[in-house]
Chain A
Amino acid sequence: MAAKIRIENVSYFYGDRPALCNVTLDIPANAITVLLGPAGGGKTTLLRLINRLNDLLEGTRLLGRILLDGQDIYAPEVDVTALRRRVGMVFALPLPLPGTVRENVTYGPRLAGIRDRARLDALVERCLRQAALWDEVRDRLDEPASALSGGQQQRLCIARSLALNPEVLLLDEPTSGLDPISTGKVERTLMELKRDYTIVIVPHSVQQAARLADFAAFFLMGELIEARPGNEFFTNPRDRRTEDYITGRFG
């Protein structure tokens, strides 16, 4: 599998506190990569580094390089907004923007300068279908997004990210606030999407990780302990700490 994203010797600090220690990891294209491990391990930090959302924070320091298609995304000539259009993000809590369902999906494209109504309408339908939400909201496109259920809101957030035609989709515990049925829908959506997108997800449970992972990476206190294809990772972990974690001995 070709590496879409290459993380090279990345260390990251919030002030003096290290969050990632010398992490090197290849993330394959058109596959689901899960980042798992106990809280505080640096998974979310790594996710946010990949589309430079951590730029919004002050007092942080990054060492090493992150390459997207071989290009250093922290190079000075990189246009951050263009990067974020290529690398979409879905957050742990569904965070619909103020406005209607339709406005949420078209927000990114409109900022990117797309004004044509017919094109936006087509985009809304395509993205909502991809996120397995279209049938539930096709008659409610102009209702406030906040009126949707939590599971619907989260799929709306996925649709919103897809509307930018990203190459990579980052998801930070996207189902942590959802019931099992909605979780199942989101997971099926992701399985569909991996044909066209490179997906990196921080799962909200080991079971979810096992269901989704084509490739898995285990983080502990900012260190990458083990990274391997999903079937090997879960059936035959090499590191003792990985085994302890996935068998539920600590968490």
Chain B
Amino acid sequence: MNRYLQEKVGFAVLGLAALVVVLPILVVVGVIVVRGAAGISWEFLTGMPRQGMKAGGILPAIVGTLLLTLGTALVAIPIGVGGAIYLAEYARDTWTTRLIRLAIINLAGVPSVVYGLFGLGLFVLFLQFGSSILAGSLTLAIMTLPVIISAAEEALRAVPVEFRIVSASLGGSKWQGIYHIVLPQALPGIITGILLGLLRAAGETAPILFTVAAFYLPRLPTSILDETMALPYHLYVISTQVPGMPPQISYGTALVLLTIVLSLNILATLIRAYYRRRRWW
């Protein structure tokens, strides 16, 4: 085989590998859209489930997932971004900070069902929040934190150190430099990290299994100490626990969940692309 041919074959193999990555996504999205579209209707999106979930809508699950995501954001964003600022800007390289970094890396690797059990033990039982939106949001927040901290720290470190020196040379305090120069520059990366973390939280089943999710609760929650239905768990329930479930309801639910998660993902991509074009350095 001559070199030219070798190269052609090589490119073909590499291209095929790339295609293999794209293919499953297309198939998954395609199947769910095609089979789920039949289930989508105004009543499905805004109605309560009826007849043991075999009819009616999934509004409580949609609202539940949105509330859980919001609760997760409220807890995880301030703590995550604050921690990242500390690690990137203030922390010296001591054994304590090394320990913190090690903890973050390991937290990211903990299986989500373990977070669920942890949330059950700490928030539901020990702190007596019960199975509630509060307990579920806190559990999801802990699971999301490592993602947000890592992404935000990386984004902060990507801002050239010269900006901090210039800011200091112009009479700025360390915090002024961070607040006025470094944070705005790192914001796109931080927002992307936040959205990626949140969409993972929105789609997870295991952490909410023991901490908040209701099997069948055809009403909207009225307080953060209420249980609620949530899309991922609802999908699990109707796919495995209820015999004779009409398929368009399962696929419709999957389509709604996928839409929420993918739109967060697309939003993250758009923000990143938008800011990359107007980067200053």
Q: Is B24 an interface residue (CB 8 A)?
A: no
B226 CB to closest chain A CB, in angstroms?
A: 45
Given A95-B163, A97-B166, A146-B180 contact (CB < 8 Å): no
A154 within 8 A of B: no
B169 x A51 contact (CB < 8 A): yes
Verify if B259 is at the interface (C-beta below 8 Å from A). Answer: no
B146-183 contact mask (Cβ, 8 Å, vs A): 1 or 0: 00000000000000001111111111110010001100
What is the interface residue range for chain B against chain A? 20 to 34
Please tell me if the beta carbons of B281 and A164 are within 8 angstroms of each other in the complex: no
Nearest Cβ on chain B to A124's Cβ, whole angstroms: 15
CB contacts (< 8 Å) of B219 on chain A: these are: none
Chain A residues near B92 (CB-CB < 8 A): 58
Chain B CB within 10 A, most for which of A53, A88, A111:
A111
Cross-chain contact of B171 among A58, A84, A95 (Cβ < 8 A): A84
Chain B, 230-251, CB within 8 A of any chain A CB: none
A107 touches B168 (CB 8 A): no
A85 CA to B169 CA in the complex, in Å? 8
Q: Is the CB of B90 closer than 8 A to any CB of chain A?
A: no
Inter-chain CA distance A160–B172, complex, in Å, is 13
Given A81-B172, A108-B172, A111-B176, are A91 and B184 also a contact pair (CB < 8 Å)? no
Q: Which residue of B lies closest to A166 (CB)?
A: B171
Determine whether the beta carbon of A108 is less than 8 Å from that of B181. Answer: no
B281 touches A98 (CB 8 A): yes
B185 sits at the interface (CB 8 A): yes
Interface size class of A (residues with CB under 8 A): 20 to 34
CA distance A188 to B163 in the complex (A): 27
Interchain CB contact under 8 A, A81 and B173: yes
Asked if B280 is at the interface (CB within 8 A of a chain A CB), the reply is yes
Cβ–Cβ contact B181 & A97, under 8 A: yes
CB atoms of A146 and B171 under 8 A apart: no
Flag if B181 contacts A111 (CB, 8 Å): no
Max count, chain A CB within 10 A of own CB: residue among B92, B171, B281:
B171
Cα–Cα distance between A97 and B168 once the two chains are bound (Å): 12
In Å, the complex CA distance between A111 and B180 comes to: 9
Is B162 in contact with A107, judged by CB distance below 8 angstroms?
no
User: A36 vs B37: C-alpha distance in the bound complex, in angstroms?
Assistant: 75
Return the contact of B163 from the options A97, A111, A112, A164 (Cβ within 8 A).
A97
* Contacting residues, chain B, for A99 (C-beta < 8 A): 280
Is A5 interfacial (CB 8 A cutoff)?
A: no
Q: Please, how many angstroms separate the alpha-carbon atoms of A96 and B281 in the complex? A: 9
A93 and B92 alpha carbons, distance in the complex (Å): 28
Complex CA distance for A89 and B170, rounded to whole angstroms = 8
Q: 22 A-B Cβ contacts within 8 A?
A: A51-B169, A53-B168, A56-B168, A81-B171, A82-B171, A88-B169, A88-B170, A89-B169, A91-B162, A93-B162, A96-B280, A97-B167, A98-B184, A98-B280, A107-B172, A108-B170, A111-B167, A111-B176, A111-B180, A160-B170, A161-B170, A164-B170
A81-B171, A111-B171, A146-B281 known; 13 other A-B pairs, CB under 8 Å? Answer: A53-B168, A56-B168, A84-B169, A88-B170, A91-B166, A93-B162, A95-B162, A111-B167, A111-B172, A111-B176, A112-B171, A161-B169, A164-B170
